[in-house]
Amino acid sequence: MKIDTKNPASAPSPERRRVLQAGGLAGIAALALPRLGWAQAGKIKIGHLTPETGFLGALGEYAAMGVKMAAEEINAAGGVLGRQIDLISEDSVNPQVAATKAQRMIERDGVAMLMGEINSASALTISQVAARHKTLFMSTGARSDSLRNKDCNRYTFYVDIPVTVMVNAVGEALVREHMVKGKKIYSLTADYLFGHDLAKAAKKFFAANGGNQIGDELVATDVTDFSPYLLKIRQAQPDLIATNLAGNQVTNFVKQYAEFGLPYPVVGFNLNTADAWAAGEGNLSGIWPTVWYAGLKTPSAEAFTAAFTKKYGKPPENHAWVEYVTLKMLAQAMTATKSTDTDKLIAYFESGVKFDILKAREGYFRAWDHQLMQEAYPFTVKPKGQAKDKWDWLQFGAAVPAPNQSLELLAPTRAESTCKM
């Protein structure tokens, strides 16, 4: 290095001189160590994406509340590995925006991992970004079967129940009530990835159990007026109406269906408890599936419900639950591996370790498709006059699979899967 002898300021500092004398990469690495140590001691950044607007916005509101509460509890207890959780949460908006924000969180914000999402199409684009950047993504609320099949990748884990489990959970109840075999079935389907997957699984179930599907209408996600579809249903005179709708589509449909006064029973393969509450007592009937509900009688579930209700003034629904338990599972994994390293966390989740997911039975991830194995619950409506408050009018059935059955009973098998990690 040439030094300007007329300008002493150009001479290297003592620290710089020691590095140069040490030579090459060894000296540079020595100089870099303090900065690396500071980064390890800093906050653990986690990128969280969920729809806060649009037809899934009401569900995204619950999701944001659940994950925020989990982060606050973890940080109040000392954080993870002595570090605080820094939750960076944003509105995913749509699949294109979701992908852009996920990439920005990784490249600009330096998040260690990603989590969230309800819209299956957005979850797909986020998972693709995560795979390109070799970053862990915990998909919390997206239920499309294709995400767990041809679109799977080793960097994405799926916490919510998939479409096939939802259909089988409700379908078994319908078969017991003799509501499928020999019946004429008319369906309404949300016109996007999740709805298409749901309709495919429902059609397969009806065909296998002797049902006759006489119609299936695709419904755009921004539709709010269902009168044209209700007129078609009236003309078709089905024995059963099956909805493959999502978000506030379900709320709007069941309200308008009640106003039309049609006599045909309605069942659905997708209904979040928040949407059921929004529909209101007296508008909902039939049998529906859910992955979790606030009335579960386990110590951890009751503690979560009490804390959430105290904090937000209303009970949690399934998207609040799924975000909450996902961040708690991430904290468990980081603590067990003593790391935020993606490969170490993947190996931990693939090991079959059990998690308290606020249910009677613990859950675990399958190594080959990264799906969380867990109970689900069918529900219907309590007889009029039995509700304690505006959230208490849903009647939940026993968990499926039953306690003496494998948690994988209703899930797609490995032989049926097209997932290749």
150 in the same domain as 50: yes
pLDDT digits (tens, 9 = 90+) for 61-100: 999 999 999 999 999 999 999 999 999 999 999 999 999 9
Nearby residues of 95 by Cβ (< 8 Å), 6 or more positions away: 119, 121, 122, 124, 125
Query: Of the candidates 290, 310, 326, which is a domain's last residue?
Result: 290
In a domain, 203, yes or no: yes
* Residue 174 is assigned to a structural domain of this protein: yes
Query: Is 228 inside a domain boundary?
Result: yes
- pLDDT of 284 reads 85
**Mean pLDDT, residues 203-229 taken together:** 96
Q: Which of 122, 152, 157 has the alpha carbon at shortest distance from 137?
A: 157
What is the extent of the structural domain holding 192?
A: 164-290
122 and 269 assigned to the same domain? no
Please work out, in degrees rounded to the nearest 5, the angle formed at the alpha carbon of residue 48 by the alpha carbons of 44 and 53.
155
Q: Position of tokens 């007026």? A: 225
pLDDT tens, residue by residue, 407-416: 999 999 999 9
> Is the pLDDT at 357 greater than 70, yes or no?
yes
User: Which pairing describes strands 184-190 and 212-219: parallel, antiparallel, or unpaired?
Assistant: parallel
Q: What is the pLDDT of residue 47?
A: 98
Strand 85-91, strand 44-50: pairing: parallel
Which domain CATH number covers 281?
Answer: 3.40.50.2300
Cis peptide, bond prior to residue 162, ω within 30 of zero: no
CB atoms within 10 A of CB 107: 11
Q: Decide: 156 and 137 in contact? Cβ < 8 Å.
A: yes
Phi and psi at residue 213, in whole multiples of 5°? -80, 110
**Non-local CB neighbours of 248 within 8 Å, separated by 6+ positions:** 55, 56, 57, 58, 275, 278
For range 372-383, the mean pLDDT: 94
pLDDT tens-place string over residues 278-291: 888 888 888 889 99
Task: Provide DSSP, 268-333.
Answer: ES---HHHHHHH-TTT--S-EEES--TT--SHHHHHHHHHHHHHHSS---HHHHHHHHHHHHHHHH
d(CA 272, CA 287): 12
pTM metric for this prediction: 0.86
- Whether 363 maps to a domain, the answer reads yes
